[in-house]
């Protein structure tokens, strides 16, 4: 009895500090941000309550609308590109090829590097190396191509983790499923469409939700590559909240933006899980 009590006390001693840290560094800032969203707080000094004015102004602010449009465009394209390439790589790395363990490790390297580090490296490539090779200007200085450069960098870094998740899913598919499918004439694309993909839909769901969430919150790559430019053409919601909230005197207004953005991300994630969950039930 004493041993059991001692064990429970040990678990409690481990759990309480973690919960306290989570509350201090996650829950408390969230609550304070929600409170500030109803004020005209500039990030310093005194402030007054303004009620729902910040939330009403969000829907009439052209800059906020532009940042949402860019973020959704970026997130959708990056999510599709990442998952298509990652699935193709996973299919190849799951096959009977030499040194596939080493190749898996090599493909995971981009995920280990920090977003800012990767951004600065690609920034040098886009600014100096590619223009020297192609004789054209930098992609980052053109409002029509800067966002494509960010998609390339963000997808390149995310493909690694997505590929590993797909490999985990492919390894759960029994070999006898393919043998039975081959007897019925299901090979190549037909085998993937009828056998492989339906069996890895749970992993596809995880990757779609994680990819969309991460890309909607894109910040590091924009901070390193364009800082929202040129002409605010690559200003994501996260970067706008940080830039104008911390240094632009709009702390209260951008807190309201952050609250709306949080709700949007949750709603999109729930919708994705609901849709893919129905597809799993149908299969």
pLDDT digits (tens, 9 = 90+) for 10-23: 777 888 888 888 88
Between 184 and 217, residue with greater pLDDT: 217
> Could you tell me the pLDDT band of residue 72, with boundaries at 50, 70 and 90?
very high
- Going by C-alpha positions, the residue among 180, 166, 183 that lies closest to residue 95 is 166
77-102 burial, b at 16+ Cβ within 10 Å, e below that, comes to bbbebbbebbbebbeebbeeeeeeee
- Burial bucket for residue 71 (CB in 10 Å: 0-12, 13-18, 19+): buried
Res 197: pLDDT: 85
Q: Kindly report, residue by residue over 242-258, the tens digit of the pLDDT.
A: 999 888 889 999 999 99
Find where tokens 């899913």 sit: 169
Whole-angstrom Cα distance, residue 45 to residue 42?
A: 7
Res 280: pLDDT: 66
- pLDDT at residue 28 is higher than 80: yes
Res 93: pLDDT: 82
Residues whose CB falls within 8 Å of the CB of residue 4, separated by 6 or more in sequence, listed in order = none
Both structure tokens of 151: 């998609």
Between 147 and 117, residue with greater pLDDT: 147
Whole-angstrom Cα distance, residue 222 to residue 115?
A: 9
As a whole number, mean pLDDT of residues 83-105 equals 78
Whole-angstrom Cα distance, residue 133 to residue 207?
A: 35
Both structure tokens of 208: 């779609």
The contacts found for 71-74 with CB under 8 angstroms, 24 or more apart, are 71/216, 71/218, 71/236, 71/237, 71/238, 72/216, 73/147, 74/147, 74/150, 74/151, 74/154, 74/215, 74/218, 74/236
- pLDDT at residue 43 is higher than 80: yes
> Could you tell me the pLDDT band of residue 239, with boundaries at 50, 70 and 90?
very high
Helix axes 237-246, 62-93, angle to 10 degrees: 130
As a whole number, mean pLDDT of residues 81-86 equals 94
Between 14 and 80, residue with greater pLDDT: 80
Between 8 and 101, residue with greater pLDDT: 8
As a whole number, mean pLDDT of residues 119-139 equals 89
- pLDDT at residue 67 is higher than 60: yes
Show me where the domains of the chain are located: 62-282
CATH no. for 62-282 = 1.10.3720.10
Q: Kindly report, residue by residue over 130-183, the tens digit of the pLDDT.
A: 999 888 888 999 999 999 999 999 999 999 889 989 988 888 888 777 767 777
């Amino acid at each position: 009895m004493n041993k059991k009590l001692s064990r429970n006390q040990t678990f409690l001693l481990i759990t309480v500090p973690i919960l306290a840290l989570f509350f201090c560094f996650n829950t408390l800032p969230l609550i304070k941000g929600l409170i500030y969203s109803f004020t005209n707080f500039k990030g310093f000094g005194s402030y007054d309550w303004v009620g729902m004015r910040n939330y009403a102004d969000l829907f009439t602010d052209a800059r906020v609308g532009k940042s949402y449009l860019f973020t959704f465009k970026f997130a959708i394209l990056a999510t599709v590109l990442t998952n298509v390439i990652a699935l193709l790589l996973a299919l190849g790395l799951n096959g009977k090829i030499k040194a596939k363990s080493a190749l898996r490790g090599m493909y995971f390297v981009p995920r280990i590097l920090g977003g800012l580090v990767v951004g600065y490296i690609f920034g040098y490539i886009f600014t100096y190396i590619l223009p020297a090779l192609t004789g054209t200007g930098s992609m980052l200085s053109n409002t029509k191509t800067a966002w494509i450069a960010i998609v390339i960098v963000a997808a390149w870094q995310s493909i690694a983790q997505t590929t590993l998740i797909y490999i985990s899913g492919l390894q759960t598919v029994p070999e006898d499923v393919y043998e039975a499918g081959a007897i019925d004439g299901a090979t190549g694309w037909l085998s993937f469409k009828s056998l492989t993909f339906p069996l890895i839909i749970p992993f596809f769901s995880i990757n779609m939700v994680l990819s969309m969430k991460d890309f909607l919150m894109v910040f590091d790559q924009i901070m390193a590559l364009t800082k929202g430019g040129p002409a605010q053409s690559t200003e994501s919601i996260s970067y706008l909240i940080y830039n104008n909230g911390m240094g632009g005197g709009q702390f209260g207004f951008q807190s309201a933006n952050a609250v709306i953005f949080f709700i949007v991300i949750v709603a999109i994630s729930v919708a994705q899980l609901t849709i893919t969950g129905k597809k799993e039930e149908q299969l």
